[in-house]
Structure 1
C-alpha cells in the first residue's frame, strides 16, 4: 500500500498484508484508490484542495492520507480498533502529517457532537456487510460532522440504505467493492 499522488506520493504505508479479518481491516486497493481520486479530481472538480476531511472507519488511514497528500487542509480519522489505531498512527507519522491529522478513538456509530469544523469531504469505509455504515453516517450527520454540500464517498460491497439528506452523484463497481459518491443536500 502506498500514497498514489500529491505531496506524499510514493510513500509506503504500514501494511496489514491481505487484511486483518479479526479487526475487519480491508485496505482499499491502490488501483481503486487511484480511480476514486481521479474521479474526485476530474468529474467533481478538485475536491481535495482545501478540504476538511472526515475518514470514518479509517482503518490504516489510506483514504484520508491520500486526500491530505493532494491538498486537503486537515483530516479527522475515526477508528476504534486496536490494530487499526496502531497502523493509522504509524501511517500518519510516515507521511509526517501530525500537524493536520487528528485521530478520534471512538465507535463511529456514536460520534456525538462535532468539536470543530464540519467536513467537506467524507470517506466512509465500514466493515462490509454489517450495515454499520448507515448508523455511522446518521450519527455524523446528526452530530454536525458533515457540512452542507459535502461530498461523501461510501465504499461497500452490498446495497446501502441512504439517509434522505444525501443525493447520489455517481456509483462505480470494482470487483466486490462499490464506490458511491453522494452530496449532502
Structure 2
C-alpha cells in the first residue's frame, strides 16, 4: 500500500496489524481520485473510520490543506500517526481517537466543514448510513464537497440522505463507492 500521486507519491504506508482493517486497494484509490480530483487546491478532508489513513493521506499528497482522521482503535490511530510521519505530512494531520458519532458531533461544534469526507466503516457494523445521516444533519460538507462512501457491492445505498444526494457509483468487484454531494434546492442555481 502506498501513496499513488502528488507530492508524496510512492511513499509506502504501514498496515494496521491484525485482520480488522481492510484498506482500500491502490487500484481502487487511483480510480476514485481520478473521478473526485485528481488534485486539489486546499480544503479540508475527513477520513472517518480511518484505519491506516490511506485515503486522507492520499488527499493531502494531492493538495488538500489539512486532514482529520477519526478512528476509535488505538492501533489504527498509531498507524495513521506513523504513516503521516513517514509521508512527512504530520503537520497537516489531526488524529481523533473517538467513536465516529461523538467525533462528528465534536467537529460540528468546532465549526469545521469538509471538502471531502471518506467513509469506509467496518461493513458488519452497519455504521455507514448513520454516519451519512449525521453528516447531513450537521451539514459537515462544504457546498461543493463530496462524500465518498465505500460499501459492499450488494448493499443498497439510498439515493438521498437528508440533503445529500448520490450522484455516482463506482464498482470494483465486491466493493462499490457511492459519491454524495449536496442536493440543489429548488430556486438555487449552480
Report the alpha carbon displacement of residue 131 of structure 1 after superposing the two structures with TM. 1.6
Task: Give the aligned partner of residue 98 of structure 1.
Answer: 90
CA 1:132/1:55 → structure 2, altered by over 3 Å: closer, same or farther?
same
Aligned to 1:9: 9
Match of 1:83 in 2: 75
Tell me how far apart the structure 2 counterparts of residues 39 and 178 of structure 1 sit (CA, whole Å). 14
Looking at secondary structure, tell me which structure has more helix per residue.
2
Question: What TM-score does the superposition give when structure 2 sets the normalisation length?
Answer: 0.85
**How many positions carry a matched residue from both structures?**
177
Q: CA deviation at 1:98?
A: 1.6
- CA shift at 1:165, angstroms? 1.2
* 1:137 aligned residue (122, 132, 135): 132
- Structure 1: which 5+ residue stretches go unaligned? none
> How far is 1:116 from its partner?
4.3
Picking from 114, 119, 140, the partner of 1:119 is: 114
Q: Distance in 2 between matches of 1:74 and 1:121?
A: 11
Measured after TM superposition, the shift of residue 144 of structure 1 is 4.3
TM-score (norm 1): 0.88
Give the superposition deviation at 1:146: 2.3
Deviation at 1:117, TM superposition (A): 2.7
Q: Say whether residues 1:175 and 2:180 are aligned partners.
A: no
Distance 1:76 1:30 in 2: 21
